[in-house]
Each structure stands twice: as structure tokens, then as C-alpha cells.
Amino acid sequence: SAVISQKPSRDICQRGTSLTIQCQVDSQVTMMFWYRQQPGQSLTLIATANQGSEATYESGFVIDKFPISRPNLTFSTLTVSNMSPEDSSIYLCSVKEQGGQPQHFGDGTRLSIL
Amino acid sequence: GDSVTQMEGPVTLSEEAFLTINCTYTATGYPSLFWYVQYPGEGLQLLLKATKADDKGSNKGFEATYRKETTSFHLEKGSVQVSDSAVYFCALSGNQAGTALIFGKGTTLSVSS
């Protein structure tokens, strides 16, 4: 299965700042997704990162707050903008390889906002 | 819409006890079903999967059978170990291309020696 590298693994940020999270895969993948896991909660899909076009956001998530890029089939970034303490979560990148299931996950980025 | 319901945790067991974590789902069509595990401080790992009715997924002593008649995918293990302590997530994926996973709320398992 694909090997997913996510950076940074953790960060502590000041409110009002922005952080960009990178997701690199060692092979070309069909689908890339970004999830949020709030403390003690399950995973919620933020958006599907589409290669060469705008991401598809789920209800409750907007591009201005969570801009996403996917310049090619192996790389994507998620930016958490204008952060507040409520954004303190684990953010996970997930991929779905061409023609197959299931989804695999990176180790996540543990984000704390002060 | 599609959804997954897991039994509430935490589940606390002694080593070598039998484990069941219940999972039921609501979905149109024939989804694929998964169990993921999250060890403390780590990301999610796929534990097992089943893609059609009556399929049994198994891995590391864990098993789950896709039961369409009861819309269930319960996770079982005959003898748990301390190292199995983790959060377990049941999830489904619809059959349309590009469908992301829908997760249950997760069940925390704590095994003591």
C-alpha cells in the first residue's frame, strides 16, 4: 500500500495565524482526502482534494478557512487559516489508490492553538 | 444519508478475555465495510475489511463478518492482549467512485494484565 508522509507531525500555533500541512505519497493515487479529528472524537471529512481543480468541501467547511491544493497525483496541502483554539485537532491526510480500496491514512498533524 | 453506529465505550477487559465491539450501518446499495485502529499518539491503520455480504475480514486475530440482513459488522477477538488497547473505528465506503469513508464515533478498548 501507499506510504503517506505528513508534515509537520505536530505544531503549537498562535491564534490568528495560519499553518500549511503537507501530504506526500510515494505513488500516484486517485483520490486524496483531508479529515479532522477533534479531541476524543471521530473523523470528519473536510474535503476531497482534486488534482488540477478546486477541492470539494463537505458541509460546514469552506475554502477560505481550509484552502487545499493538489498540484499532482502524489502531493496535497491543507492550510488552516486564521486559527482559533477551536481548530485544535488532529488533521489527517488519506489516500485511495487507483482502482482499489481501502483508504490509507498518514500519521496526522496534531495542532494546538493557544 | 449513510451512517455508522458503534457501541459506546470505553470497553475495559482483562488480558485473554473475549472482545466484541458492535457496529451497525445505514447505507443505500452495497457499501464496503472497514475496521480501523488508532493506537495512542498514532494515525489510523486499516485492521480489516469486507466488500460484500457474508465476507469475513480478519487480521491479527480480529474478525468481522459483513451481515447484510442485520446491517452489521461486529468486531470480535477471542483473546485480547494489552497491546490491543486502542481506539477502534468502524467505517463504510459507498460504491460510487471517489466516495470517502464515513466513520463511527470510535470505541476505546483498554486491556489490563
The whole-number pLDDT of residue B97 equals 61
Q: How far is CA A21 from CA A47, A81, A91, A93, A109, in A?
A: 14, 11, 8, 9, 7
Q: How far is CA B71 from CA A36, A39, A106, B4, B27, in A?
A: 27, 29, 29, 10, 9
pLDDT tens-digit readout, B50-60: 999 999 999 99
> CB of A14 within 8 Å of any CB in chain B?
no
Find chain A residues with C-beta within 8 A of B36's C-beta. 105
pLDDT band for B113, please (50, 70, 90 cuts): very high
* C-alpha cell, B59: 487480521
Would you say residue A99 has pLDDT above 90? no
* Across A59-87, average pLDDT: 96
Alpha-carbon gap, residue A95 to A111, rounded angstroms: 21
pLDDT tens-digit readout, A15-50: 999 999 999 999 988 889 999 999 888 999 999 998
Cβ(B10)–Cβ(B108) below 8 Å: yes
Interface of B with A (CB under 8 A): 32, 34, 36, 42-46, 49, 51, 89, 93, 98, 100-106
pLDDT band for A58, please (50, 70, 90 cuts): very high
Using only C-alpha atoms, chain A has a radius of gyration, in whole angstroms, of 13
pLDDT > 90 fraction of chain B, expressed in percent and rounded? 79
Would you say residue A12 has pLDDT above 80? yes
Would you say residue B69 has pLDDT above 70? yes
Q: Which of B93, B105, B106 sits opposite A101 (nearest CB)?
A: B93
* Across A76-101, average pLDDT: 90
The whole-number pLDDT of residue A98 equals 65
Over chain A, what is the mean pLDDT? 92
